[in-house]
Structure 1
Amino acid sequence: MTNGNPTTAERDVLETIEAEDVDFLRLQFTDILGTVKNVSVPARQAEKAFTEGIYFDGSSIEGFVRIQESDMRLVPDPETFAVLPWRANGESAAARMICDVYDTSTDEPFEGDPRYVLKQALERAKKLGYTVNTAPEPEFFLFEEDEDGRATTETADHGGYFDVAPKDLASDVRRDIIYGLEDMGFEIEASHHEVARGQYEINFEYDDALSTADNVATFRTVVRAIAAEHDLHATFMPKPIPRINGSGMHTHMSLLTEDGENAFHDEDDEFDLSETAHSFLAGILEHAPAITAVANPTVNSYKRLVPGYEAPVYVAWSDRNRSALIRKPAARVPAASRVELRSPDPSCNPYLAFAAMIHAGLDGIERDLEAPEPVRENIYEFDEEKREEYGIDTLPANLGDAVAALEDDDVIYGALGEHVAPKFVEAKTQEFEEYIVEVSEWELGRYLETF
């Protein structure tokens, strides 16, 4: 609010709450691992939320604060207001707003808030004269539930890439998800069955990076909620089924200049990419190992990042094929020139992942890095000797190696900030250490009776 008076956006929210018969507001934010949290308040508290914020105990949130410094404050962003698309017959509506987290001891933005981390990356871009646009392609699986309502790994259909009914039996669910997202203000570009059985992709339009990160967090919540209405379980786990393709979140990126022009486009370049784009791309390639810890943040992420299942593991770029880490998609118009990072998966915290990518690219621009030549051959078919000949490295093979790369990379570690970086490393180191001391069913089946 300005001088105690509602801004235009806040006034619009208050009017919509009344018009839509909204009873409850879900004030959302994420912890450092990307899990969506929310504080539910009666809608009549909306004006208070704008003027004073809503207080909560930050010590119970992963990676936030210690018990002795636990009071935090949520400040809702009115631009993120949306009525939730599900309600029982006759019930009043609920709505959500995404919040910024403030430290009550300083009344300043909380450095451990992932949304703040991304805002800092965007501020760096702004100082260089750019705004950042992103467009992710999150994939997910739909699984059947058992008689107790627990998730199984039985897929809802047996379709394949771009299949249609009757093989794509979840098309009705996907339609309801799209309608729900559109009701919340999403601009949906496309939806289709992915390569693996039971796997789907829904793409939403290019937008500024902050709005897109907000949308990814919302997207996961909406997909799960609407799938549950159909007695299905939606998962963004990168590799829930062995020996088939996992779920990625390919992320398209571009920069706009202050006059709204695409800073990545140059029609005189062989690839229609400007020097700025080449340097941005080179920055991402240089920092790719460290980015991997943030964009592929679970032990399971590395079951997807293996050769043979269309996931990018080779640190290279291409304008023709999808075997490289970065692809330059075809652009019909100058405004569409962009680069696509293919390694992220949908288990990542979108705020932190986008921040890492942006800082890496901006580092490339500031240092005027030169991108290597694109690899136009299928890298999946290269042997180790040929990859060495081309100077192609591979991404970290597991979460432990990725976290080590993050700790060794001042740019990406610094991108996460003094609060988030050590907390993130601590959480992910613990996760990997817990994993490596476990004995899997595969190991028991392979070795128990053999040795």
Structure 2
Amino acid sequence: MKRPGFIERHHLWTEIQKEVCEKIKAVVKERDLLLIRTAWSDQHGIVRSKSLLPQTFLSALENGMQISTGTFLFDTGGALVFNPFIPGGSLEMPEMTGAPNLVAVPDPHTFRIVPWAKRTGLILCDQYFQNGQKMSLSSRGILRQSLAELHQRGLEHIVGLEVEWYLAKLEDPMLALADVGTSGKPGQPPKVSAVEHSFQYLLESHNPEIHDLLRILAENLVEMELPLRSVENEGGIGQFEFTFDPIPALQAADTMTMFRMATKQVCRQQGYIASFMCRPGLQGCSSNGWHLHQSLINRTTSENAFMSANSSTLMSDLGKHFVGGILKHANAASVFTTPTINGYKRFRPNSLAPDRAGWGLENRGAMIRLQGGFDDPNTHIENRIGEPAANPYLYMASQLICGLDGVDCKLDPGSPTEEPYATENPALPRSLLEAISYLSQSELFGQKMGQQFINFMIKMKQSEINRFLEAVAGQSPDEYSKQVTDWEQREYFELF
């Protein structure tokens, strides 16, 4: 009798996943796929992958795929943060000693054909230790854990994505050996030119300049079965916003992961650079935001749990308490909603980004914008704090952790404001350094994500900050905190 594979031995798939797996095997054969990109998201939300030939991939559908722990050891610039060759791998985790292999287990629900690459498929994975235990540093695993708690309450997290990004024409990829950089010191960013002329919000006449590229991109996203909803020209020169239908949170996080990956690859294939960096250091470039639309629904009745049945209130008590929790813990959660140094340059008064933790009815200056109201089944909140470089799994998990604490503690969000930049609500962090200080003091995140993971993220982000401060040592804080530095452009523009 054949010995059960790793996935079967450790009961890692549901019956539905097993059924989907059989369909995937048939597709691989019918489409004559040559390479299947077996991928996962690291702590930064960056997609890492191995391309497997069909027979190896079929084996991975039984035993998972062996991967190195290496992607968990580096910060955004490729600097080594943890030494794996001491006990605990510098993480106080015996399983990480010596940089051993992990097992990446494909999730059949995420399998896609890659339209822009011939005979190629893609599947996302979860990470496990060799003994079948969940890898505690896995961001997708942390979201799964948060959703499991929510499901026990009979609720589902529904998420709509509204994502801004920047498009530029590639002029020089800067691939001379002197320009490519080294570990911890990213090289020169590519040289680019604008795709349109001057700031004109939602200008229809700019469409001929970029329509063909956007059409190709939309075709690829739709072919990947991503729930694309709308495409629009945003405020900055070469800035665009794509929105997606509201879907369950894990599916939404996977969608964001695949959307960013697809957008960058398709645009590069066409001779352009797509960047999800929050505030690129280019002339005429506005800040990019990632607004997270969210609601909770009853898993039994499918009713919107945020909708108010009382004409005197804007949303249900559960909804108000959920908002109260997000506002209370906004500063600590900023490490997950706004995880780059560059992202904090978006928080400016009287802009379309928040600068303090408050909420308002249909108010785009507030951190939390409520849409809907009494007896409206579409009632939901929009958190406007996020940057598009955020790890989707950690962004969404942070919302659930904060919101459910608000529900449990019956936190009052206060009254909605009409003057979001003039209220006495707590100011949001002004820097990533300030944000990690709040996170280090958060008992809630230590309990829900695990103190081991929180310590890991703080050390990871501190490495990023230390390299930044070293690079700007000759500048005053007033100078480097307001302007996008050369270091940021090197670090984030092409990576995200």
CA distance in 1, matches of 2:207, 2:219: 22
Residue 150 of structure 2: aligned partner: 125
Relative to the length of structure 1, the TM-score reads 0.89
Residue 194 of structure 2: aligned partner: 155
Residue 235 of structure 2: aligned partner: 195
Residue 167 to residue 185, structure 1, CA distance change in 2 (3 Å) = closer
How far 1:173 sits from its partner (Å)?
Answer: 1.6
Matched, 1:185 2:225: yes
- Identify which range, 211-220 or 300-309, moves more after superposition: 300-309
1:15-56, CA deviations, whole angstroms, 9 ceiling, x for partnerless residues? 111222211111111111111100111122233112111111
Q: Which SS does the other structure have where 1:253 is aligned? A: strand
Residue 178 of structure 2: aligned partner: none
CA distance in 2, matches of 1:332, 1:162: 31
How far 1:152 sits from its partner (Å)?
Answer: 2.9
Q: 1:18 aligns with which of 6, 11, 29?
A: 29
CA distance in 1, matches of 2:415, 2:279: 32
Residue 472 of structure 2: aligned partner: 439
CA distance in 2, matches of 1:13, 1:324: 44
- On the 8 A contact 1:287/1:412 being kept in 2, the answer is no
Residue 78 to residue 224, structure 1, CA distance change in 2 (3 Å) = same
RMSD of aligned Cα (Å):
2.6
Q: Counterpart amino acid of 2:233?
A: H
Residue 92 of structure 2: aligned partner: none
CA distance in 1, matches of 2:436, 2:208: 38
1:253-268 alignment, distance < 5 Å? 253-259=294-300, 260-268=302-310
1:316-341, CA deviations, whole angstroms, 9 ceiling, x for partnerless residues? 10003111100012379843211110
CA distance in 2, matches of 1:294, 1:152: 30
Q: Counterpart amino acid of 1:156?
A: V
Q: 1:400 aligns with which of 418, 433, 457?
A: 433
CA distance in 2, matches of 1:188, 1:332: 28
1:238-387 alignment, distance < 5 Å? 238-241=278-281, 244-259=285-300, 260-270=302-312, 272-330=314-372, 334-377=376-419, 379-380=420-421, 382=422, 387=423
CA distance in 1, matches of 2:374, 2:53: 47
1:267-290, CA deviations, whole angstroms, 9 ceiling, x for partnerless residues? 324454111100000000000101
Residue 160 to residue 20, structure 1, CA distance change in 2 (3 Å) = farther
How far 1:297 sits from its partner (Å)?
Answer: 0.6
- On the 8 A contact 1:118/1:354 being kept in 2, the answer is yes
CA distance in 2, matches of 1:170, 1:442: 38
Residue 492 of structure 2: aligned partner: none
CA distance in 2, matches of 1:151, 1:308: 32
CA distance in 1, matches of 2:387, 2:312: 30
How far 1:148 sits from its partner (Å)?
Answer: 4.2
CA distance in 2, matches of 1:154, 1:413: 44
1:208-247 alignment, distance < 5 Å? 208-241=248-281, 244-247=285-288
Corresponding residue pairs, total: 433
Residue 148 to residue 124, structure 1, CA distance change in 2 (3 Å) = closer
CA distance in 2, matches of 1:179, 1:442: 46
Q: Counterpart amino acid of 1:419?
A: Q
- Identify which range, 204-213 or 140-149, moves more after superposition: 140-149
Unaligned runs of 5+ in 1: none
How far 1:154 sits from its partner (Å)?
Answer: 2.9
CA distance in 2, matches of 1:345, 1:62: 23
How far 1:162 sits from its partner (Å)?
Answer: 1.7
Residue 70 to residue 168, structure 1, CA distance change in 2 (3 Å) = farther
Residue 136 to residue 412, structure 1, CA distance change in 2 (3 Å) = farther
CA distance in 2, matches of 1:68, 1:211: 34
Q: Counterpart amino acid of 1:102?
A: Y
Q: Which SS does the other structure have where 2:299 is aligned? A: coil
CA distance in 2, matches of 1:245, 1:269: 39
CA distance in 1, matches of 2:39, 2:375: 37
- On the 8 A contact 2:367/2:385 being kept in 1, the answer is yes
- On the 8 A contact 2:264/2:274 being kept in 1, the answer is yes
Residue 180 to residue 334, structure 1, CA distance change in 2 (3 Å) = same
Q: Which SS does the other structure have where 1:268 is aligned? A: coil
Q: 2:101 aligns with which of 71, 80, 86?
A: 71
Matched, 1:29 2:48: no
* Aligned residues with identical type, % of pairs: 25
How far 1:123 sits from its partner (Å)?
Answer: 1.0
How far 1:306 sits from its partner (Å)?
Answer: 2.1
Q: 1:430 aligns with which of 463, 471, 494?
A: 463
1:71-150 alignment, distance < 5 Å? 71-87=101-117, 92-104=118-130, 106-148=131-173
How far 1:73 sits from its partner (Å)?
Answer: 0.5
Q: Which SS does the other structure have where 2:204 is aligned? A: coil
How far 1:167 sits from its partner (Å)?
Answer: 6.0
Residue 411 to residue 145, structure 1, CA distance change in 2 (3 Å) = same
- On the 8 A contact 1:396/1:402 being kept in 2, the answer is yes
How far 1:356 sits from its partner (Å)?
Answer: 0.8
Relative to the length of structure 2, the TM-score reads 0.82
Residue 48 of structure 1: aligned partner: 59
Q: Which SS does the other structure have where 2:362 is aligned? A: coil
Matched, 1:9 2:34: no
CA distance in 1, matches of 2:319, 2:311: 11
CA distance in 1, matches of 2:268, 2:448: 36
Q: Counterpart amino acid of 1:210?
A: L
How far 1:424 sits from its partner (Å)?
Answer: 0.8
